[in-house]
C-alpha cells in the first residue's frame, strides 16, 4: 500500500494510523472480517467461497481468524445472523472489495 501511495513505508503507516486509528496490519483483517460477515449474513455462499472472496485464502485460515476475532465459527455466525431459510434463493451477493 505504501508503494501504491508513493510514500515510504514508515510515512504511510504514520498517515494510516492518523486516519484510521490503527496500523494497516490490524485494519486489513478487520475489513476482511466485515466483508465476510456481510456475506455470511446475506448469501448462501460456502465458507470456502467466502474465504477466497474476502482474501483469507483457505477455508481453514478463514475459520481460525474469524473465530478468534468474532468469537463464533463462520457456520455458527451464519446460523444466528444469516438469511432465514426462506431467503436462501440468494445466489450472487454484492461484490466485496478489499
Q: Where are the domains positioned within the chain? A: 27-82
Other residues' Cβ atoms within 10 Å of the Cβ of residue 40 = 26
Q: 6-50: per-residue pLDDT in tens?
A: 989 999 999 999 999 999 999 999 999 999 999 999 999 999 999
Q: Which CATH number fits domain 27-82: 1.20.1250.20, 1.10.10.60, 2.40.160.60, 1.10.274.10?
A: 1.10.10.60
Q: At what angle do helices 9-20 and 24-42 cross, to 10 degrees?
A: 50
92 or 59: which leads in pLDDT: 59
The pTM of this model reads: 0.75
Amino acid at each position: 500500500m505504501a508503494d501504491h501511495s508513493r510514500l515510504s513505508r514508515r510515512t504511510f503507516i504514520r498517515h494510516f494510523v492518523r486516519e484510521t486509528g490503527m496500523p494497516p496490519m490490524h485494519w486489513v483483517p478487520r475489513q476482511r472480517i466485515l466483508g465476510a460477515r456481510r456475506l455470511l449474513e446475506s448469501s448462501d455462499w460456502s465458507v470456502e467461497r467466502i474465504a477466497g472472496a474476502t482474501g483469507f485464502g483457505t477455508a481453514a485460515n478463514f475459520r481460525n481468524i474469524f473465530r478468534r476475532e468474532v468469537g463464533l465459527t463462520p457456520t455458527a455466525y451464519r446460523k444466528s445472523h444469516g438469511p432465514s431459510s426462506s431467503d436462501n434463493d440468494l445466489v450472487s451477493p454484492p461484490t466485496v472489495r478489499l
